[in-house]
Amino acid sequence: MIIRIKDLVCRFGDNYALNGISLDVEKGEKVVIIGPSGSGKSTLLRCLNALEDFQSGEIVIDKIKIDRNHEHLHEVRLEVGMVFQQFNLFPHLDVINNVILAQRVVRKRSREEARAKAMELLTTVGLKDKAAAFPAQLSGGQQQRAAIARALAMDPMIMLFDEVTSALDPEMVGEVLEVMRHLTDKGMTMMMATHEIGFAREIADRIVFIEEGKIVEQGTPDKILNNPEQKRTGEFLRKVL
C-alpha cells in the first residue's frame, strides 16, 4: 500500500470540502476520482501533496506521514508529482529549463545530468523540438505535456493529475491523454481527477465517485460505470456521459 488516507477532513470555514474520506491505494494502481464540481476531487489531490492543510484525519504516503506541523512536507512532495489544470509552467523559463530547474535546485543534479533527463522526458512527451520555446509560445496541449515532463523529472513514485485536460481545447485532449496512457503502461501509481469518463474506463483499476466531500461508491470501471449500486452515481453519470 503506497497511499493510506484515513478519515480525512478538510474544511474552509464552515464549508467541508472533504468530510471523512478513507482510501487506500496500492503501488502501481490507477485510481480515477469522479464527481460533480465542488465535490472535493481537487482538494483530495491537493491534500496528498500537502498543498492544502487538513483539519483531522491521516495521510501516509510510502510510510511518510503528512504532518500537520509540516515536518515531512519536503520528503512527501519528492515522492508525489502533480500536474495542474492550468499547467502552471514557469513563464520566464524555456521548456527545457522548466524541466531542469527543480532537478538542479531540489534534487541537486548536475547540469549535464538534469539536461539529459529533461531531453529524454521531452522526447517521451513529444516536445523534443520545443525545448527552446517559451511556454507562451506553446499550445495548451503542449504546455500540459511539458508540465507532465517537469513533474516526471523528479522521479516521483506517485503522479497526481488534477483535471489536466479541463482547460484544453477539445482537439488537444487526445495528445495529453496519450502521454498519460504511456505512463500507465510503465506501472506508475496514478491518481487523477477527471471528467474524461471514457479515458477513466480505459485506464482505471478503480473509479471512486465523490460527492460533497464523501466517497459515495467505488469499484472497477465496469461496476461503477455500468452497474452502479448507488442512485447518485447513476444520476451523475447520466449527466456527464
Partner 1 sequence: MLSWLTDQARLIFDIVVYLLPAVPVTLLITVAAFSLALVLGLVVGVMRISRVGFLSKFAAAYINILRGVPLLVQIFFIYFGLGKILSLDRFTAGVLAVGICYSAYLAEIFRSGIDAISYSQHEAAMALGMTRFQALRHVIIPQSWRIVIPPIANEFIASLKDSSLVSIIGLQEITRAGREYYSQFFVDFQTWLIVGLIYLIMTLTLARLVKYLERYFAVRGFGSART
Q: In the complex, which residues of this chain contact partner 1 (CB under 8 A)?
A: 49, 51, 74, 77-78, 80-82, 84, 86-94, 101-102, 105-107, 134-137, 143, 150-151, 154
Closest approach of partner 1 to the CB of residue 110, in Å:
17
Closest approach of partner 1 to the CB of residue 238, in Å:
33
Closest approach of partner 1 to the CB of residue 50, in Å:
8
137-173: b (≥16 Cβ within 10 Å) or e? ebebbbbbbbbbbbbbbbebbbbbbbbbbeebeeebb
Written as nine digits, the cell of 179 is: 502521454
Phi, psi (rounded to 5 degrees) for 97: -75, -25
Closest approach of partner 1 to the CB of residue 132, in Å:
11
Closest approach of partner 1 to the CB of residue 190, in Å:
15
DSSP codes joined into one string, 147-200: HHHHHHTT--SEEEEESTTTTS-HHHHHHHHHHHHHHHHTT-EEEEE-S-HHHH
Written as nine digits, the cell of 2 is: 503506497
Q: Which is nearer to partner 1, 60 or 78 (CB)?
A: 78
Q: Which is nearer to partner 1, 16 or 134 (CB)?
A: 134
Q: Which is nearer to partner 1, 51 or 60 (CB)?
A: 51
Residues 6+ apart with CB under 8 A from 42: 85, 162, 163, 193
Q: Which is nearer to partner 1, 93 or 237 (CB)?
A: 93
Q: Which is nearer to partner 1, 27 or 70 (CB)?
A: 70
Closest approach of partner 1 to the CB of residue 71, in Å:
13
Closest by CA to 130, choosing from 94, 92, 102, 171, is 94
Q: Which is nearer to partner 1, 19 or 166 (CB)?
A: 166
191 burial (CB, 10 Å; 0-12 / 13-18 / 19+) is: buried
